[in-house]
Chain A
Amino acid sequence: MRHRLAPRGLAALALSSTLLLGACFLQAPNQSGVSDGIAQLSHARTIAVGEGPHGITYAGGMIVNSNPKSGDISIIDPATDAVAKTLTFDGGKESNSPTQAQATKDGKYAVTMDSKANLLRVIKGETQAVVGTVALGKKPGSKIVWANETTAYLALGEVATNNVLKISWADGFESPATVEQLTVARDGASTFVAGFMAVGGGYLAVPNANDNAVSYVKIGESTVSTLQEGNAPGPIGISTLNGSALLVYGNKSSNTVVVYDLNAKQLLGKLTVGSTPTDLAIRSDGRYAYVTCAGAGEIAIVDLGTATLHSKVTVGRATSTPSKPVHLYMVDKPAAAAGFRVAHEGHEHEAGPQQVWVGGDGDGSVTVIDAETQQAIAVIAVGNGHHKMAFTPTKAYVSNITDNTVSVIDRSVIK
């Protein structure tokens, strides 16, 4: 029989687990190309999960990991770093493909997106069970963006009208949600491919690679404005630096990052970066945006105060295999764990010392950048394939889509 642990017990277990992990944490062989001063580490443990593990998050004290290929969801207990439960669904992988997983703002539930069943599942971490579903009718985009504790926005794929859903769990996540359809697209567009979305500063913005345009609205209003600066807009965020609303997005085909003042309707900068911007996160104070340049093996750091390129940071293990950074996460430092938050594309944050965690899909790496010094401080070898990450106050969990595993990293040894 499985015993439920009180929060204090969980904390103690997490601490002991951290110590144990730290003791067996591996110093990776030196990679000559990695600069001096950057710690080279290996992950502490590997957990076998379902097929094609992708979206992963930390909710209700558990790690929730979506496995699109096997059509199931693995629940990992951070206390033991083992799969505690596998959630399966009627029809198996023929009818289900859970892709993404994101935590609610209160950190108790995980919301997973299924691109075959076209629905959201709400999973309560504490009970390791699905407590609700939300029918979407269309294929979901790649992420949910939370507007507040109980309301989220989700972009749908490949539709030009009613392409954004406003989903409200006013009565709690275990009660049915209400879904409102919004159209945030350029008038006349017939196709809309939107995997990304940003909410902030009172605005909602959706990029459309098929239109070379970003459409945005003031939340609560229906007038859609369109910005066209560059080709194939993708990763997007909104900074509220100094009370402003700065739209930031990367153009995957142009290899540029656009900074645009939504209130003044003014283009502040279009910056050339490395090949193929794929993901973006904004530091909690809104000052810097970090953009993965997947084809260049680097992170472009954009100073949003001046709308200029601050610097570029090379990531990865410096092997002959390109690192190919596709996703990154803005994470509070372990020392700030009391206010622990994870940001990923469009989330808003409270200020605090942070780190940027970058997944290297090409060379099986995770690079950690200090968001204060803007320098890489550690490179960790993990499994192979596309990576997404989840974070507890003391550990990081990295999905390895090719290996069907999740790598566990002890965050305490990364200073």
Chain B
Amino acid sequence: MAVPFKHLALATVAIGSLSAFADPALACNCGCALPGSSADMTSVSGASTLFSSEANFLYQTSLSFRDVTGSFNESGTWTPKPQGSSLNTLQANLGVTYYPGNEWTFGLMVPMAANILNGAQWAAQGAVVPIDTMEGQSEQQFGGGFGDITLQTSYIAYRGEDIWPSLALWGGLLMPTGNAAGEAAATFTGSGTFSGQIGLSALKLLGPVELSGGIGYQRPFSEPAADVSTAFYVGQSLLGQFQANWEFAPSWRAGLGASSFYGEMAARDTSPTASKLGKIKLTPSIEWRFLEGQGVRLAYGADPSPGPWVNSMTDQNLIFSYYRFM
């Protein structure tokens, strides 16, 4: 039986939340934290999820696998990961969004991650370097735990009419609940700082095509603690995201997302000059809505090169996710 993609369902798979994908705090810093990929659809602030109003709760869960491919340096030159090295992350996200009425949403996302480092380790500015066996580190490291928990809220400022899209304001708080301290690089799952986000999202339906997108701003509210493994952290950043979904057959949609961030790399000490950071991620996806209010989605995220991207680790992600409105 074909299950149509109503607005409610569309919301679910809008993909690409501003917070999940564009979260530079998770993508850079020491480069060790969670994927920060637009392909992670489990975020609570996916642009179109903000406009849902036909259910009380949205539950989302996903499992993603990340393979680090290399890094851009401060000049935008890309270098592949070290020979013979691999850095992989298996990440699970649990998200819930509460819809108390027609305008507001309140959400919580809890990420968990396991890192597998083989002959390499994270480095500052999102770089990847070979492991230093001189210091007695094991060639293979495994570790993980909870990542940085995100709280978000949104308010629908305008319900779109005629040619105009719907608009929502949103804000979020990223809490440094993930580990960013110590010597064991495989256990790093967090950014080490509190950060806040605000933004504006828009949604427009054009027959079988759904377009959504938004812009945001993120800034840290604290410096990393002294025991955090890197002196660098993400400063003020701009976030951007666009997603297009096309219902090509009953219950089936294909999507393409683009998400990016651009900002400054801050240092625990005042740095003589600020380093910039930024990148874009493209995420094609396919989605099957198998029951009313329930569906699954498979997505692949990768960083195109070349591009005006700096100080960022690059990776490819494979994400499987499930959602349900209740």
Contact = CB atoms under 8 A, between A and B. Distances in A.
Contacts of B132: 326, 386
Given A211-B231, A211-B269, A231-B311, A275 B82 contact: yes
A321 B130 CA distance: 13
A322 B81 CA distance: 12
Interface residues of A, number: 44
Interface stretch (A290-298, A332-340, A367-375): A290-298
B127 interface: yes
B323 to A, nearest CB: 38
B86 to A, nearest CB: 12
A147 B124 CA distance: 32
A141 interface: no
B272 A226 contact: yes
A379 interface: no
B139 to A, nearest CB: 10
B306 interface: no
B133 A385 contact: yes
Contacts of B80: 275
Contacts of B311: 231
A75 B155 CA distance: 74
A237 interface: no
Interface string A177-203: 000000000101111000000000000
Interface of A: 52, 54, 69, 186, 188-191, 209-213, 226, 228, 230-232, 251-256, 270, 272, 274-276, 294-297, 321-324, 326, 361-362, 385-386, 401-402
A254 B268 CA distance: 19
Contacts of B273: 228
Interface stretch (B42-50, B71-79, B291-299): B71-79
Given A255-B127, A322-B82, 16 more contacts: A212-B275, A230-B73, A251-B73, A252-B129, A253-B127, A254-B77, A255-B77, A256-B73, A272-B73, A321-B84, A322-B84, A324-B82, A324-B84, A361-B134, A362-B83, A386-B133
The bracket for how many chain B residues form the interface is 35 or more
The secondary-structure label for the interface of chain B is loop
Chain A CB count within 10 A is highest, among B125, B127, B130, for B130
A232 B123 contact: yes
11 contacts: A188-B269, A212-B267, A212-B271, A230-B73, A253-B71, A253-B125, A255-B73, A294-B129, A295-B128, A361-B133, A385-B133
B275 A253 contact: no
Contacts of B83: 275, 295-297, 322-324, 362
The secondary-structure label for the interface of chain A is loop
A190 B269 contact: yes
Contacts of B82: 275-276, 294-296, 322, 324
B185 to A, nearest CB: 14
B270 A295 contact: no
Given A230-B73, A254-B75, A322-B84, A191 B268 contact: yes
B133 A295 contact: no
A221 B282 CA distance: 53
B207 interface: no
Contacts of B79: 255, 272, 274-275, 295
B229 to A, nearest CB: 11
Contacts of B74: 230-231, 254
B275 A231 contact: yes
Interface string B97-140: 00000000000000000000001100111011110111010000
A320 to B, nearest CB: 9
A228 B272 CA distance: 8
Contact of B269 (A191, A251, A270): A191
B85 interface: yes
B127 A252 contact: yes
B271 to A, nearest CB: 7
Nearest to B79: A255
A231 B133 contact: no
- 9 A-B pairs with least C-beta separation: A295-B82, A322-B83, A253-B127, A322-B84, A254-B73, A386-B134, A255-B79, A231-B125, A276-B129
A272 B127 contact: no
Contacts of A323: 83
Contacts of B127: 231-232, 252-255
Interface string B210-238: 00000000000000000000010000000
B125 to A, nearest CB: 4
A273 B123 CA distance: 17
Chain B CB count within 10 A is highest, among A254, A272, A297, for A254
A95 B23 CA distance: 45
Given A188-B269, A295-B81, A272 B134 contact: no
Nearest to A321: B84
